[in-house]
Amino acid sequence: MKGTSSPRFPRKNLFFIILISFATLGLIALPPPEQESDPETERKFKIGVAYPVSISSASTTAFSNTEETQKLTWKKHVVESGESLAIAFDNIGLDGNTLHTLLETDKNTKQLERLRPGNVIEFGFNKEGQLTELRHPRNYLETLIVRHNGKSFTSELDKKKIETHTNFAHATIETSFWSAADKAGLTANQIMEIAALFGWDIDFALDIRKGDKFEVLFEQHYLDGHPVDRGSILAATFTNIGQTFTAVRNEDGKYYDKDGQAMRKAFLRSPVNFRYVSSNFNPRRLHPVTGRVKAHRGTDYVAPVGTPIWAAGDGVVLKSAYNKFNGNYVFIKHSTKYVTKYLHLTKRMVKTGQRVKQGDTIGTLGGTGRVTGPHLHYEFLVNGEHKNPRTVDLPQANSLSGKEQTAFKQRSKQQLAHINQLSQLVPNNNILLN
């Protein structure tokens, strides 16, 4: 009997079976790939520090508006000199009816008639070529948005949120107040505002000395994390020739000293924005033209020809005229007690009998009359007697009273204590930006 033999397995098939077996074992034995470490998960975060967070585009679908928004085609137009809104619309391809309807929407759209060269208008058109949206940035804070809902236009003002921080600067004067304030990081407007605040107590032409110092606490406005402009001065001190003056802003927007006395007084110490002074108040001096000793009952301020001259206080113009000695001159009467005189003007800008307010421009500095060079000669009379305008006692300022004064004194104490603390921390001639 022949033994039965197993069927022969083709060698080719055997090779494939072995290959598949090894591949299967490899899949079972191979460890899973090591997961890459995520630096975001391993990083240790610190409290109070902001970190960027990455969100994939797929995960943002839950936050997006589920309604499909129609994609617009935008055209940007910059207004040119002499160009009207009608011309701008025509250049974009819009007719007069659309312009008229849009302008009559409300008071916001009506202001589009007052566009200036350089202003920007952005037009958004739908796929049919119809005006669907208009955008006009009015300034860095506000954008006018006009939309068409298919029947009529509607408008809204998109206002960005401004953040306000409190900043601080201080400096010691070496050469001039302007130079020190500029090096400390203050703007030209802030420098002038400080001079105006203390201008009732300090003559910034004659009284500033080396070693004088100032400290100022002020608002800084931020938009999207970037500084955009400076706000109000909250409090300031100015030490002049050893005497310290203070100014603190009240809730009414006015400034008072630490005790609640108004900074504003009946007269300015100086009636001109100046840089140089030719001579001080001196009752006996050699006249520069005649060579004789003659009383010089006032103060001379040298500044560029055409510099505005201000009324030192409220009053009525006694005389606005010209003679060969005074040149163009203006005399102002302030109540029954005080008179101020302004001589050698290039131009007089008030008439006899005219009422003026403190700070009004009454003329411009010049060199008319008997003079050696352009300057303002300024005199201050009390009951007909010449006084030094730098040192004369001025009428007492108004003050806060009652509960308002009590509340102000508390706020003033806090602000000035804050200034004192910061002046110890911040290097001199520097600015602290929060």
pLDDT at residue 247 is higher than 70: yes
101 neighbors 118 (Cβ within 8 angstroms): no
Token couple for 426: 């911040």
Q: Read off the pLDDT of each residue in 81-104 and give the average, rounded to a whole number.
A: 90
Domains of the chain: 73-159 (3.10.450.350), 163-264+425-432 (3.10.450.350), 276-387 (2.70.70.10)
| pLDDT-derived band at 274, boundaries 50, 70, 90 | low
pLDDT at residue 82 is higher than 90: no
CB atoms within 10 A of CB 154: 14
E strands within 250-404? 255-256, 276-279, 282-286, 293-296, 299-302, 308-310, 315-323, 327-334, 338-348, 355-356, 361-365, 376-382, 385-387
Per the document, the length of the chain is 434
| pLDDT-derived band at 10, boundaries 50, 70, 90 | low
Q: Which amino acid is at 185?
A: G
| Separation of alpha carbons 195 and 177, rounded Å | 9
What tens digit of pLDDT does each residue of 173-197 get? 999 899 999 999 999 999 999 999 9
pLDDT at 390: 81
Q: Which amino acid is at 183?
A: K
pTM assigned to the model: 0.65
Strand-pairing partners, residue 299, are 378
